[in-house]
Structure 1
Amino acid sequence: MKHDTPEFAAIAAQGTILRCQVGSGLHGTAVDGQDDRDEMGLCVEPAEYVSGLKRFEQYVFRTQPEGVRSGPGDLDLIVYSLRKWMRLALSGNPTVLLPLFVPANEIVAITELGHDLRANSGRIVSRQAGLRFAGYLRTQRARMLEGSLKVNRPELIAKYGFDTKYAMHMVRLGVQGVELLETGRMTLPIPEPWLSWLRDLRRGKHTQDEAIAAAAELEDRLDRLTRGASPLPEEPDRDWVNRWLVHAYAAA
């Protein structure tokens, strides 16, 4: 199914309850004006796309054509149906959780429903997120160790000997996962001293071995937190979430 049709664009625009930045600019890890802008939105789709045969799960817009790498000034936007976003959020998907924690100055659009959703992040986030963060981190670290990365940044490999942006995102994921499991929140942009360390890694001022070692240590901390050291509940409050979704769609 195509996700960039005019029909889906209209649904996303009319039903959006929250839209914000989610990329390197949000994390604070963008360097030297090299990055595009990534945004994520959540929308309530019309009734016929919920109870009828039609389906809307997401709308995707990219400044560049599909298959062309985005660059400085480009926009990559994805707008999820609220139900799909919630399913991903309950499972602890790291990127999908970001709209719950972005600072106000990174919010492009928000409604009363969007404010209410952000105010109830504690009912959505659980130790399930630790499993997802650790799983992604483990996979990324293994790929870097095995040299099996499928990347499109040959210029970084030529300059530094490894994909420093990939390595930076790997470690960033661990840093944010640990903070989320320890506090129930993600600070955005990433606070010091990690922010400078990550930016230095992206600029090639840390080695690949240092990045892998940092990721391994963070992965170990995530595993301990997920097994019970975290103050977060083991599972999200699915009963509350179900009631809230029914209310949100009825209100819309």
Structure 2
Amino acid sequence: MPVAAPQTEYGDRELALTGEILRTVVGSGVHGIAIEGTDDHDEMGVFIEPPAYLMGLGKPSDHYVFRTQPEGARSGPGDTDLVIYSLRKYLRLATKGNPTALLPLYAPADTVLIVTPLGEELRRLVPAMLSQQAVRRFLGYLDSQLNRLVGRGPRRGTPNRPELVARFGYDVKYASHALRLAYQGREVARDGRLTLPMPEPERQRVLQVKRGEVRELGAVLDEIADVQSQVENLLAAGRTPLPAQPDLATVQEWCVEAHRRHWGWT
């Protein structure tokens, strides 16, 4: 009898799936930069907890995770990574500008896997959630990718993908993620929105880096630094349509009402 491959799963699966109001593709697939045969498949969802978990003795359950790879193993081609956040945790992430958490709000229709009326309302709430904090988060995530790329910070040392370094001279995935975050941070700061999949020609440029077609790491680093500087100048000069902070009062009011309606309370 074949032995099932080890997987990673934690959180309350039934609770998350029965209360789900939104799920979309995230990751490279929604950015439009997936390369067939090299990328995994990422999904993110949002669920509403039952009242007993928030007001009774039940312990709050703020997320559920499922991965086809075992704990600690890298995902690869054909693997699926799924995370479903409770609405309260999701809204905390989104209002702080977490770049990945923002993706379900902008995911195009063909990448929306599950959506209820409350899920549609959540997606329409994005103007209250997006602020200059999000731009700062994009820059912060960009710096994290750069640190891994050039071996700075607490994760310095052996790269996660030495096979890419051996083949191309540097980790093209870290480089492409950093460049993507720079471009997207610029769009959010300049236009107050995020286009998915990425608009051209930025999408093609990121793909060139990811495919290893840009052989000089220095050229990529210079381009990232240039775009990053543009983003910082937009913020410093106040040339952004975004408010300094999210509209937390509006978000909280909707969050409370969404729970009441999901539970059938009037």
Name the amino acid aligned to 1:50: L
TM-score normalised by structure 1 residue count = 0.93
Q: Structure 1: which 4+ aligned runs deviate by more than 4 Å?
A: none
1:149–1:135 CA distance, 2 compared to 1 (3 A)? farther
The match for 1:204 among 212, 221, 228 is 212
Show the counterpart of 2:110: 105
Which secondary structure does the structure 1 equivalent of 2:99 belong to?
coil
Deviations 1:75-125 (A, max 9, x none): 100000110010111111111011110000000100001101111211110
Name the amino acid aligned to 1:218: V
Whole-angstrom CA distance in 1 between matches of 2:25 and 2:159 = 23
The match for 1:127 among 105, 124, 132 is 132
Name the amino acid aligned to 1:241: V
Q: Retained in 2: the 8 A contact 1:130–1:223? A: no
Q: Retained in 1: the 8 A contact 2:143–2:178? A: no
| CA RMSD after TM alignment | 1.7
TM-score normalised by structure 2 residue count = 0.89
Whole-angstrom CA distance in 2 between matches of 1:236 and 1:61 = 30
1:61 aligns with 2:66: yes
Which stretch of the first structure deviates more once superposed, 58-67 or 178-187? 178-187
Show the counterpart of 2:50: 46
1:134–1:155 CA distance, 2 compared to 1 (3 A)? same
Cα deviation, residue 62, structure 1: 0.5
Name the amino acid aligned to 1:65: P
Cα deviation, residue 136, structure 1: 1.9
Name the amino acid aligned to 1:111: T
Whole-angstrom CA distance in 2 between matches of 1:39 and 1:127 = 26
Show the counterpart of 2:239: 229
Q: Retained in 2: the 8 A contact 1:134–1:219? A: yes
Whole-angstrom CA distance in 1 between matches of 2:145 and 2:67 = 25
Q: How does 1:1-252 map to 2 (within 5 A)?
A: 4-5=9-10, 8-53=12-57, 54-146=59-151, 148=156, 151-206=159-214, 207-227=216-236, 228-252=238-262
Cα deviation, residue 52, structure 1: 3.0
From the CA coordinates, give the structure whose radius of gyration is larger: 2
1:151–1:14 CA distance, 2 compared to 1 (3 A)? farther
- Report the identity percentage: 46
Whole-angstrom CA distance in 2 between matches of 1:86 and 1:163 = 33
Q: Retained in 2: the 8 A contact 1:130–1:225? A: no
Q: Retained in 2: the 8 A contact 1:128–1:226? A: no
Cα deviation, residue 134, structure 1: 1.4
Stretches of structure 1 lacking an aligned partner (at least 5 in a row): none
Q: Retained in 1: the 8 A contact 2:67–2:79? A: yes
Which stretch of the first structure deviates more once superposed, 68-77 or 162-171? 68-77
Whole-angstrom CA distance in 1 between matches of 2:130 and 2:248 = 11
Deviations 1:130-154 (A, max 9, x none): 1111122233324434452664211
Which stretch of the first structure deviates more once superposed, 141-150 or 162-171? 141-150
Which secondary structure does the structure 2 equivalent of 1:177 belong to?
helix
Deviations 1:178-227 (A, max 9, x none): 11122222111111111111111111111211221121112212222333
Whole-angstrom CA distance in 1 between matches of 2:207 and 2:182 = 15
Cα deviation, residue 65, structure 1: 1.4
